[in-house]
Structure 1
Amino acid sequence: MTEILAATIGKPMPTQPLLLSPPTYCNECGAKKFSFESLHFCCDNGDISIVANEYPPELVRLFTAKDEDAVNFRKYARLYNNLFAFSSIGGKTDRETYKGIYVFKLHGQIYHSVPDLLPDENGPKYLQLYFYDGQIELEHRINCFSELRQDVIDILMRVTENNPYARFFRSLKEVNVNETTNIIINSNTVPDQRVYNAPISVEVAVIWPDSVSSSHSSWPHILVTAKSAKSHRIAHYYGCYDPLQYPLLFPKGECGWNQGLKKISHGGDRQIASELDPIQSCAVHITEDFLDAEETRKYLQLSDVSARRRKTKADRYISAREYYAYKLQIRVGNMLLRASRAFLQYITDKYIKVENTRLDFFRQNQDTIRDDLYKGILDTVQSGETSAANVGHKFILPPSFIGGPHDMKRRYLNTMALVQKYGKPDLFVTMTCKANWAEIKAELELGETAQDRPDLVLEFSEQS
């Protein structure tokens, strides 16, 4: 605001950015907090807790070291991740070559899908690359992208040995995979992410038995066939959405966000059990002590049920925005922030996922947002439609959906109201953030550049 005020009174713009107050740290989750950040943005004041597994030392070195192979890995992090991904990412990406800072741009919807088990005439890809012996698998991977190094691929192949999805698909080379072979990929492996949530191979996928009726394909799982003419889509609300697409960011196959994740204050029986002292609960020697302990448990359960009734669903469950706001915080050892160009794709993908969840809510709750106030005759007349045959059912986006038509109309009306009251503006001032600011460089880790941390650059840009 100081810079904008200086411009309005004719003073020269300052060459140095505004000094920000020293960062503080959240007492609940340890996230670094910058100026003007809300208390509940990172972990909802301790009500959200997601435990991350430690990264393999070889992968940590590639993310952080200055060695030649590590520099190559970070430069082509997206290609290395796509090389080992089990699913493909689809959408309208901008393939234009940028002369300046690298960005990952995507337009419209984004899709994750897995291929058939048997490769087509174009050769093996994605999860099909895991069906071969080590040397043949290495040769196939080297031939995919000419920019990648064989020694880095060797390291990543060893890293993926602990990935449950990789272990399952590599085990298929011992199975006679034919055109009738099908597998089921479990949509969600771990419902509670307050514990180390690394699944095992038998939990992530199974071979589909021929004796089971195909009518069960409507289960909330992914059925992958050996040969088919359709893609096997991964819904954005599946927990396997993240580990299948980003095996280098989740090397142990950690389950991502799904709709069943509860907040700590609404953890049900699991949370109630953790509140009781296990030593005291076992030290019951007489009947009166046992009855007293039972009454205490019943009281806690009834209190929890009554609290759940008073709370809405949004208060009980972790939303997609809250989940990824927690995951992307600056904390010690958060390797997601060190993933370079793979990190850019990841945050773009997650932003679209959050938008998808919001659109799903509006689609399923049209009565809640009183869509009858927006649709029907009024909208038809306003748009100039004269044929009743062209009037159909529409899903209405309320003004709370940023970028929607009603949101843009509200912004326009607010702007016109300001002009009507104060007159036409004299200046239209925009602010940009320079990547060489000392404040930004001070927050970068060793070997990082400003283009690797859009979350950090945006933070300083907004506060300036």
Structure 2
Amino acid sequence: MKLRSIPMPITRRVMKTMALRHGEVDASAAVVHAVITAPCFCFSKIDAVYLKGFCVLPCSRSLSVPCQFRRDFTTPLFHCALVVLAIDPRFFLAYPRSFHIGSAGSKMISIGVSHVSLLNAAAQHCRIPILCYLWEFGEDAVNGLSRGSSAQSDKDYVEALKASYPGRSYYGAPNYECPYCGAIFWYQEGVKSASAVTKRKIVYNLCCKGAKIDLPRIRNPPEPLATLLNFNGDARSKRFLRQIRSYNSMFAFASMGATVDKTINTGNAPYVFKINSVVHHKIGSLLPSRGKQPKFAQLYIYDPENETENRMNIFQHDDSTGERADPSIVRALSDMLDSENMLVQTFRYARERLAEHGNQTLTLRLMGCNAKSEIQYNLPTSNEIAAIIVGDYSASEYTFDVLVHDKDVGLRRVSSIHPSYMALQYPLLFPYGERGFHLGIQYNDYDGTGRKYVTMLEFHRFFMHYRLNEPNPYTCYGRLSDQIVVDAFSTIEGSRLKWIADHQADLRSECVQGIADAIDRGLIDADNVGKRVILPASFTGGRRYMVMNYQDVMAICRVFGSPDLFVTFTCNSKWQEIAELIRFEDGQQPSDRPDMIVRVFNMKVHEFITDIREGRTFGPVLAVLYMVEFQKRGLPHIHCLVWLAANNAEVSAAVIGGFISAEIPDFRIDELGYELVKEFMMHGPCGEDNKKCPCMKDNKCSKYYPKDFQDETFVDECGFAVYRRRNDGRTILKNGVLLDNRSVVLYNINLLKTFQAHINVEWCNKSNMIKYLFKYIMKSHDKAKIYFETTAPSGNMSLNHDLAPPDEILEYMDARFLSTCEALHRSFEFDIHYRVPPVERLAVHLPGMNYVRYEKGFDLRALINCPAAKRTMLTEWFEANTKYEEARSLTYCDFPKEWTWDGSSRTWHKRTPAPKIGRMYYVHPTSFELYYLRMLLMIVKDDIHLRLKKALDNPHCIIPHEHLLTLLIHELTSVFGKSGGNIRDYNLPHLTFSPQVPMGNRLIEEELSPSLDDVNARRNFDFTT
């Protein structure tokens, strides 16, 4: 029988096997070197081999020992077994893609070698004969094998291996659909509603807020755009999708005032859209200046006979692909927009009017709307979106409009609340000129309570959700969808910052005593009192936000000590959930769906944190926190800190080794672990093997790979863990380089198998690096320099660049990078920072120096006479100490564990003890008396005066202020002494002698204790400052 070889995929395990039919075989088959008909096998230097779930169990290495087969297959592809090609496995690591599997008829297959020379080399390498068998296969098995490259088959096998792990984190496809707007979602994203309307069904509110937001669906794009947007289309469509941003810019009416980061789109990695400034759109005049080429909206007015050439000349080639635009596509899109787009028709009409009126001044008015108009969101008619103004006009009449002049008067900013804000910038996403967000879009079925109108965030987030069989410019248009998502969130964030900048004078703050002093000076109007309110800590991502979170983390560290584990969890864009979703749109790749990447990652993070909190990963834990960041290429990841329970956090080699591994698993024992480490946890290759690796700095690896071999895990003299990396001969081939245990990134095998992504786990219980670690995970965004531009009363952009924004707002905007994934993550309002247990921020102030906030124009006399203005967390803590005996057993910071603060009534209420940590706001040492007060509140459970009365057993005694000051300084001296410090080092008042701190050694204490005569001589204390 002559075997017919057809190339088919084969896994790396199959590379150790070749199959021939049991019996006579034609010697012309290239794979045959020897044929043995007896039911026995010769094994050399291998213990086990695998074939798509079939295993040849370890057997004796001696010759002619019958093999034992396991036939409980894990996949239905094979009905019978294959047998072993006895070659040293190291040979196959060197030649991983040289073997293939072929079909030899309906009921048999053969495994052959691509090159006979390689087979001969294998025989010479092993110095043994190559033994082969052929076993019969069922017809279904042969037909079930997918034809393709060996690399694809190996990939399929690994994916099947991943899916077979019973503890894998997997949610399936998004099988749920919002009953109101049709947005699809996962079960894990839904919430259970107890209302009678939904009857406790799984509902999802991020899309339309339960039918409160009702916006018209997006229409199917006209031809030829619909054909060009097909990801699974011909070469012309694929080329168009690669260049879609350039094509859109050819037809855009406005320019996008942001700097696109082009440095990250080098090499063969997926495309990433990233800006380093806040987006704003600008529009110029109807006609170009003399001697200048027409741009943007001017292309619809100027020189229509050469319009295509003018567009082609402006955009010579796409920056990312280097390909020149197709003139036929440009002409087709131009004709389409002329017939379908209302804005294009308006500008064409303006061209005709310019020709008619000659030298008269002409202005194109693009109509806007205000909050009182309450117009419906729908497709407008041409006379609803624009008008032509001939002659002079009053700018105050057109506050909410965009005015485009016929002559060049500079670029004018398009207001972000103008209905055509997005349509002017993205004519290919909105080919009909649809309205975008504007003021006055009312909630559906508004009941008269709460907010009445749809916000800008809610509007854009509605369209960021995918709906089956519906075109969506925010998700389905490739690179241009990436751009509009970033544009939308940048506009949202810019609007928030502008509101804060514009309302600096409306919200004031001042201490109560300062208000009283102002009234004494005759200042009664609030406009004259207070300090500027700058970028608040409630603004996510600002400097104050980051500092506040850093202080909260330090409070957790104060209670539980140093964290034990530092975990970095990076999103895997190839998760099976994402792969299943992109099948809804033929031809899409995971990089085309960043909306689903961030949603799946958010679900994975919730599961990840839940597993850690409930002790399923590292055992009992005390606290957990994480911070979300976004890689240079845009994918999200979290930095997580874990505090282990006391009985679980002993610093020993056994404990560290139980949580963390730095070695390649044995693929014969843990095949899944081997494949996952190979895919996610191998660093490099770098160094001499790859000097262009991103980690290389000054011809050295900045991560210090490869590490040294180590026989055992130990903690060095500096307290750092050194992990076991044995020289056991295990290697992984990556980019043509064999890597061993020295290149393994630290990992936890259970986390790796569960989430199947890059998860770096390190032991970090080292006190002298805690502040660095916390500041690292709480660092703010990457930054780029930009400036605010103010808007004139007419709604157009002022050309005055001398106005400086508030400092903290400028500081935030002075270095802001924004990628597509981050824009989507923030638009969906997912957590940026998370911590358990929660931290209660406690006010600390001197009497009458608590800050109160008030609005512009408020009557200060009413404010100073309001009792609630004088009640704070601190004053009410003192009050609770006088009323309740049990309150006196807790310090101010421990108080939130058993008491809760009611902000409405401004009082503390008793509650069931909860794991909540109190933290007082930071006070600088130069605040002197306030700083001393904060120090005392950290340790004192009741006031010194009350304690002294109890000690004297005289609740009615009067203690002079000087004696209280003495006791205060004595207490501070004890505080510094217990920590090994000295009160004199802090420029604080101190006693002329220092009371000794108990040392626990009676002999030393007696030696250092003063005599009775010394005590009598020092009865009168002197103070120095």
What's the TM-score once normalised by structure 2's chain length?
Answer: 0.36
Question: What's the offset of the Cα at 1:318?
Answer: 0.3
Alpha-carbon separation, structure 2, partners of 1:71 and 1:347: 21
Q: Name the amino acid aligned to 2:350.
A: L
Q: 2:345 aligns with which of 147, 150, 167?
A: 167
Q: Name the amino acid aligned to 2:292.
A: N
Q: 2:432 aligns with which of 228, 232, 252?
A: 252
Q: 2:390 aligns with which of 198, 209, 221?
A: 209
Question: What's the offset of the Cα at 1:398?
Answer: 2.9
Alpha-carbon separation, structure 2, partners of 1:178 and 1:136: 23
Is residue 591 of structure 2 the alignment partner of residue 451 of structure 1?
A: yes
Question: What's the offset of the Cα at 1:265?
Answer: 2.1
Q: Name the amino acid aligned to 1:331.
A: R
Q: 1:31 aligns with which of 170, 183, 205?
A: 183
Aligned to 1:78: 245
Alpha-carbon separation, structure 2, partners of 1:227 and 1:184: 14
Question: What's the offset of the Cα at 1:371?
Answer: 4.7
What's the TM-score once normalised by structure 1's chain length?
Answer: 0.77
Q: 1:403 aligns with which of 528, 538, 541?
A: 541
Aligned to 1:50: 215
Q: Is the 8 A contact 1:53 1:252 kept in 2?
A: no
Structure 1 463/447 Cα, relative in aligned 2: closer, same or farther at 3 Å? Answer: same
Deviations 1:98-149 (A, max 9, x none): 2323222222322111111111333111111112576421221222323211
User: Equivalent residues in 2 for 1:2-151 (5 A)?
Assistant: 18-20=169-171, 22-23=173-174, 24-34=176-186, 35-37=188-190, 39-54=204-219, 55-64=221-230, 65-99=232-266, 100-120=269-289, 121-132=291-302, 135-146=305-316, 147-151=324-328
Higher RCO (C-alpha 8 Å, min separation 6): 1
Alpha-carbon separation, structure 2, partners of 1:97 and 1:360: 30
Alpha-carbon separation, structure 2, partners of 1:96 and 1:371: 44
Alpha-carbon separation, structure 2, partners of 1:393 and 1:209: 48
Work out the number of aligned pairs and report it: 388
Q: Is the 8 A contact 2:573 2:590 kept in 1?
A: yes
SS at 1:110's partner residue? coil
Alpha-carbon separation, structure 2, partners of 1:27 and 1:233: 39
SS at 1:397's partner residue? coil
Alpha-carbon separation, structure 1, partners of 2:418 and 2:395: 20
Aligned to 1:461: 601
Deviations 1:345-381 (A, max 9, x none): 100010011112322443455588x65169xx9xxxx
Structure 1 191/450 Cα, relative in aligned 2: closer, same or farther at 3 Å? Answer: farther
Q: Is the 8 A contact 2:207 2:462 kept in 1?
A: yes
SS at 1:401's partner residue? coil
Question: What's the offset of the Cα at 1:420?
Answer: 1.6
Q: 2:561 aligns with which of 411, 415, 423?
A: 423
Alpha-carbon separation, structure 2, partners of 1:416 and 1:59: 55
Alpha-carbon separation, structure 1, partners of 2:443 and 2:503: 23
Structure 2, gaps ≥5 residues long: 1-160, 192-203, 317-323, 515-529, 605-1025
Q: Is the 8 A contact 2:256 2:425 kept in 1?
A: yes
Deviations 1:313-368 (A, max 9, x none): xx211001111110111102133122111111100010011112322443455588
Alpha-carbon separation, structure 2, partners of 1:78 and 1:373: 50
Deviations 1:128-177 (A, max 9, x none): 11125764212212223232111221221122121011011122332326
Q: Is the 8 A contact 2:286 2:301 kept in 1?
A: no
Deviations 1:17-44 (A, max 9, x none): 6201553111111101122355221101
The answer to which of 68-77 and 184-193 deviates more is 184-193
Structure 1 22/440 Cα, relative in aligned 2: closer, same or farther at 3 Å? Answer: closer
SS at 1:206's partner residue? strand
Structure 1 243/393 Cα, relative in aligned 2: closer, same or farther at 3 Å? Answer: farther
Question: What's the offset of the Cα at 1:421?
Answer: 2.0
Structure 1 191/448 Cα, relative in aligned 2: closer, same or farther at 3 Å? Answer: farther
Q: Is the 8 A contact 1:69 1:149 kept in 2?
A: no
Aligned to 2:685: none
Q: 1:153 aligns with which of 330, 334, 337?
A: 330
Structure 1, gaps ≥5 residues long: 1-13, 267-306, 378-391
Higher relative strand content: 2
Structure 1 43/455 Cα, relative in aligned 2: closer, same or farther at 3 Å? Answer: same
SS at 1:316's partner residue? coil
The answer to which of 129-138 and 236-245 deviates more is 129-138
Please give the root-mean-square deviation of Cα atoms over the aligned residues, in Å.
2.8
Q: Between Structure 1 and Structure 2, whose CA radius of gyration is higher? A: 2
Is residue 494 of structure 2 the alignment partner of residue 335 of structure 1?
A: no
Alpha-carbon separation, structure 1, partners of 2:260 and 2:510: 36
Structure 1 22/449 Cα, relative in aligned 2: closer, same or farther at 3 Å? Answer: closer
SS at 1:428's partner residue? strand
Alpha-carbon separation, structure 2, partners of 1:340 and 1:216: 41
Q: Is the 8 A contact 2:508 2:531 kept in 1?
A: no
Q: Is the 8 A contact 1:363 1:395 kept in 2?
A: no
User: Equivalent residues in 2 for 1:334-373 (5 A)?
Assistant: 334-336=471-473, 337-363=475-501, 371-372=508-509
Deviations 1:248-270 (A, max 9, x none): 1111111111121110123xxxx
Q: Is the 8 A contact 2:223 2:336 kept in 1?
A: no
Alpha-carbon separation, structure 2, partners of 1:242 and 1:427: 46
Q: Name the amino acid aligned to 2:214.
A: S
Higher relative helix content: 1
Deviations 1:384-429 (A, max 9, x none): xxxxxxxx96442333210123321221122112212222122221
